[in-house]
Amino acid sequence: MIQGVPSGDLAPFRGNQMKNRIIAAAFGALALIGLASSAQALPVSDPSMLLSWKGLYGSMSVGGGQYAYDDGSKHDLSGLVLEIGGGYRHQFMNGWVIGAELGGTLPLASGKEHQTYPIYDNNGNLTSGIETDTYHWRLGPQGFAGLTIGYAFGSLLVEGLAGGTFGTLANRYEYDYSTLYSSSWGQSDASMVGSYFGGRVNWAVTDSWTAGLTYKHVSADTTGYSGPGYHSTNRITGDTLSASVAYRF
């Protein structure tokens, strides 16, 4: 018995209470039905709802690069950068994604400089001749391997990357001694070993195909043969920006 209410008057109160419960249950059932209908209406291929970034993938990219070669003086190299690679990603339930990647880069980057010097004879006297030296640096094929970590926002994956890189740097030089002497030329190749870091934004276009934008900063030491028992060590740094397409297996 509710205090102050006669027992005979409780029937309408209990009836209203039961009616409210029935109405609440009905609204709850309608809400569940609506959610179930919405879930069934979603296409299975909707990457923003059902996409997982876990698995193997292969990628191709094209972009541009700007490099600086330091051998005591700074020399600029620039050009197209082509890359092919692949890797594996593992996605956790909380949205974090880790992975490993490897591949090869063909940087069509080069630079050329001309330097002129007066020519002296064997007695140290200045002649009318001019020595013109031409240096042409060109990056060779590069390999890379590294790790990635990122976070998935449904169909968007933002990740950072870091790893090691190796390759070659070619230096072709030409010496033109005007009309006093004959011209000569030569080429020396230097090996490159270094590291890279950067970031990538990936967007799932379909369940299998993704598009991306990648930035990398490369820093490497170059070691080349310069004479009997002597090797020169110089440094090259660069920044690349490329667009990519990838297929997820």
Q: Is 37 exposed, middle or buried (0-12, 13-18, 19+ CB in 10 A)?
A: exposed
Render pLDDT for 30-56 as a digit per residue (tens, 0 to 9). 444 444 444 343 343 444 345 789 999
Is 2 inside a domain boundary? no
pLDDT of residue 132: 67
Of 108, 127, 150, the residue nearest 238 (C-alpha): 108
Say if residue 95 is in the same domain as residue 195.
yes
Across-strand partners of 57?
87, 248
Verify that 163 and 90 share a domain, yes or no: yes
- The domain tally of the chain equals 2
Residues 120 and 190 in one domain: yes
Q: Pick the residue with more confidence: 166 or 7?
A: 166
Do 58 and 36 sit in the same domain of this protein? no
Q: Are residues 162 and 187 in the same domain?
A: yes
Examine the domain organization and report whether 79 and 20 are in the same domain: no
Q: Show the tokens assigned to 69.
A: 């070669």
Determine how many CB atoms are found less than 10 A away from the CB of residue 87: 20
Residues 142 and 244 reside in one and the same domain: yes
CA–CA distance, 213 with 35 (Å, rounded to integer): 36
Q: Give residue 231's pLDDT.
A: 53
pLDDT of residue 56: 96
**Host domain of residue 78:** 53-248
**One domain, residues 101 and 72:** yes
Average pLDDT over every residue of 187-198: 86
**In the predicted model, is pLDDT for residue 123 greater than 50?**
yes
Based on the fold, state whether residues 109 and 134 are members of the same structural domain: yes
Confidence of residue 87 (pLDDT cuts 50, 70, 90): very high
Q: Which of 78, 191, 186, 79 is nearest to 134 (CA)?
A: 186
Q: What is the pLDDT of residues 90-119, one digit of tens each?
A: 999 999 999 999 999 988 877 766 666 666
Which residue, 158, 149, 144, is CA-closest to 218? Answer: 144
Q: Give per-residue pLDDT as tens, 125-174.
A: 776 666 666 777 788 889 999 999 999 999 999 999 999 999 988 877 66
Is 47 within the bounds of a domain?
A: no
Q: Which amino acid type is present at position 112? A: K
Question: Does the pLDDT of residue 245 top 90, yes or no?
Answer: yes
Residue 168 within a domain: yes
Shared domain for 14 and 80, answered yes or no, is: no
Q: Is residue 110 part of a domain?
A: yes
Asked if the structure places residue 45 within a domain, the reply is: no
Specify if 232 maps to a domain: yes
Give the separation between CA 207 and CA 45, rounded to whole angstroms. Answer: 6
pLDDT at position 139: 85
The reply to whether 1 falls in a domain is no
For residue 19, what are the CA distances in angstroms to 13, 33, 75, 160? 10, 21, 85, 57
Other C-beta atoms within 10 Å of 137: how many?
22
Quote the pLDDT of residue 54: 94
Is the domain of 35 the same as that of 76? no
pLDDT band at 196 (very low <50, low <70, confident <90, very high): very high
Same domain, 161 and 90: yes
The predicted pLDDT at position 118 comes to 67
Say which CATH number the domain at 167 has: 2.40.160
